[in-house]
Structure formats: structure tokens, C-alpha cells
């Protein structure tokens, strides 16, 4: 798929900074509140691609949802471009593992939904939607409904919808987790092409170490719950990246480091649960 950015999609390299300062989140756990994430501080620069890795239940999605504005921290602050986050906003696009499309709307109308909410006319919103569908290779499916598309195609619609408001930050919660291996690899490459065009800051949650190392500038490894950052690993592999980098010495070494950290945290969590 060849990706060509529309005229409006000027790279926004000066926006999209994420600053997280001493954030903790607690959820009700019966008689007492349970900490999901604890005292996390983090800075992500505009245009960076950062992946969150960690054992199941470590709070990756909770942290992502704090940036999205769906979860309010019990302590600490989350800012995007120096503005405190207390609710969802069009400056942050969100892509979920489940496709989350409106089944009663056509593909085009799903993508046009955000621009319409932002005040665009029906014609303007449709033009934006058609442009983004062209970018993700689905222009010929604009009039179809989500149920008529494969899982990979639905997720491409989800990405187009998330980008249609030209957000400065793109938040992705295991967006390719439900896809088969071949489709997943294709989606990873397409995502990197889109990211290179838009220079949007990306915060991406995944359980897949290979995916994280292939995509990211930095991989943040979280501890077992309550989650905090135990390692911030740079991925200095040159871009653009092709799938065959997974056999390179540099890739394998970063993967080994990530796997070792995640295994250690998983073993620690297992030991604590069985005390």
C-alpha cells in the first residue's frame, strides 16, 4: 500500500508531547482499593513512537487510558502539550483491540464521525473520510458496513477514523492482537508508513516483544502490578524498517533484554500470589 499524506496532514513535530508525573491509579477491590499503577513518571517527546510492554495485569492499558482521559488518576498529573488531561479530546486518537466501529454506519460514515463532531460540514467530513480511506487502501469499501469487512480491514478503518481529526497523539491498545500473523505483520508495516507521514506521537500497548521492538523508538517495560516502569529501552535500529530486521543481532539483543525483564516480573508476581 502506498501512503501519500493529504495537504492538511503537515507533520506536527512540535505537538504531541506527553508528560506523566507521579501518576497512581487505584480501583475498588472489594473491601479496599487496589493499586493498578503506582507513581509513574514519564516524558514522551513529540513524534516519538513508544511501546508499553509488561506482564498481564501490569497496568499498561490503565496508563494508556489515563492519557486518553478515560481514567482519572488517584494521584499525579497527565499532560499533553502542557495541558492537563481530565477527559477524552480530539487531540488524542484511540485505537482499541476490538474494532469498536459503529455497525449501523458505513465505513465512510465511521471515519467521518469525528470530523462531524468537530464541526465539519457533511461534505467536508466525507471528503476527509474518503482521503483517509484512500490512505489505508480501503477507498473501494467506503459504502460497505463493518460486518462486511475482515478483521484487518476493520482495524484499518479504525486507524483511519483515529487519524481523521489529525490528532497530535495516537493511542493504541493492542490494536493488532486479534489478527492472524500475516495480517498483523502487514498492519505493522502500514502503521509505520502512516506514522512516518504524520509524525504523530504514538503510545502503543502490546504483549508482543517482536512487535514492540519492530515498531518503537523506545520500549517501556512495566513491572507486575501495581505497575511502574522498570526499564526504558532505546531501539536505535535505523528506519525505515523491514521485517527482516528481526534476524539482526541488534534486534535480537533488544528482544532478549525485554524478554528477560518480563520473565523476571512474571516470576515475581507468581511468587507473590503463592505466598
Q: What is the pLDDT of residues 103-129, one digit of tens each?
A: 999 999 999 999 999 899 999 999 999
Q: What is the mean pLDDT of the chain?
A: 89
Res 275: pLDDT: 66
pLDDT in tens, 32-46: 678 889 999 999 999
Res 29: pLDDT: 62
| Beta pairing partners, 126 | none
Exposure string of 85-107, with b = 16+ CB inside 10 Å and e = fewer, is: beeeeebbbbbbbebebeeeebb
pLDDT in tens, 222-259: 998 788 999 999 999 999 999 899 999 999 999 999 99
Assess contact for 212 and 259: CB atoms under 8 A.
no
Assess contact for 158 and 100: CB atoms under 8 A.
yes
Asked if pLDDT for residue 11 goes beyond 70, the answer is: no
CA-to-CA distance for 122 and 151, rounded, in angstroms?
27
CA-to-CA distance for 56 and 74, rounded, in angstroms?
22
Assess contact for 200 and 168: CB atoms under 8 A.
yes
Res 30: pLDDT: 55
Judged on CB neighbours under 10 Å (0-12, 13-18, 19+), 157 is buried
pTM: 0.89
Long-range contacts formed by 132-138: CB under 8 A, 24+ apart = 132/6, 132/160, 132/161, 132/163, 132/164, 133/107, 133/108, 133/157, 133/160, 135/3, 135/4, 135/5, 135/6, 135/160, 135/194, 136/1, 136/160, 136/190, 136/194, 137/1, 137/190, 138/107
All domains of the chain in start order, with CATH: 18-91+168-273 (3.40.50.300), 103-166 (no CATH)
CA-to-CA distance for 186 and 45, rounded, in angstroms?
27
| Beta pairing partners, 170 | 93, 202
pLDDT in tens, 12-30: 457 999 999 999 999 876 5
Name the 3-class secondary structure at 193. Answer: helix
Res 138: pLDDT: 94
Amino acid at each position: 500500500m502506498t501512503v501519500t499524506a493529504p495537504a492538511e496532514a503537515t507533520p506536527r513535530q512540535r505537538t504531541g508531547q506527553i508528560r506523566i508525573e507521579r501518576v497512581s491509579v487505584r480501583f475498588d477491590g472489594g473491601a479496599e482499593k487496589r493499586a493498578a499503577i503506582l507513581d509513574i513518571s514519564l516524558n514522551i517527546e513529540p513524534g516519538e513512537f513508544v511501546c508499553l510492554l509488561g506482564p498481564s495485569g501490569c497496568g499498561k492499558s490503565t496508563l494508556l487510558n489515563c492519557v486518553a482521559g478515560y481514567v482519572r488518576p488517584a494521584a499525579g498529573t497527565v499532560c499533553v502539550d502542557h495541558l492537563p488531561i481530565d477527559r477524552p479530546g480530539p487531540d488524542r486518537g484511540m485505537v482499541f483491540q476490538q474494532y469498536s466501529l459503529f455497525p449501523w454506519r458505513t465505513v465512510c460514515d465511521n471515519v467521518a464521525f469525528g470530523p462531524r463532531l468537530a464541526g465539519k460540514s457533511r461534505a467536508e467530513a466525507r471528503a476527509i473520510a474518503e482521503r483517509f480511506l484512500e490512505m489505508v487502501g480501503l477507498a473501494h469499501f467506503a459504502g460497505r458496513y463493518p460486518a462486511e469487512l475482515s478483521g484487518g480491514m476493520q482495524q484499518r478503518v479504525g486507524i483511519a477514523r483515529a487519524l481523521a481529526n489529525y490528532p497530535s497523539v495516537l493511542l493504541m491498545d493492542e490494536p493488532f492482537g486479534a489478527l492472524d500473523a500475516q495480517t498483523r505483520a502487514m498492519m505493522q508495516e502500514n502503521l509505520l508508513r502512516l506514522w512516518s507521514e504524520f509524525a504523530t506521537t504514538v503510545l502503543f500497548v502490546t504483549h508482543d516483544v517482536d512487535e514492540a521492538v519492530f515498531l518503537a523508538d523506545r520500549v517501556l517495560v512495566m513491572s507486575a502490578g501495581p505497575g511502574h516502569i522498570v526499564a526504558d529501552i532505546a531501539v536505535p535500529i535505523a528506519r525505515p524498517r523491514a521485517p527482516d530486521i528481526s534476524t539482526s543481532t541488534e534486534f535480537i539483543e533488544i528482544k532478549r533484554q525485554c524478554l528477560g525483564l518480563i520473565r523476571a516480573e512474571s516470576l515475581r508476581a507468581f511468587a507473590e500470589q503463592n505466598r
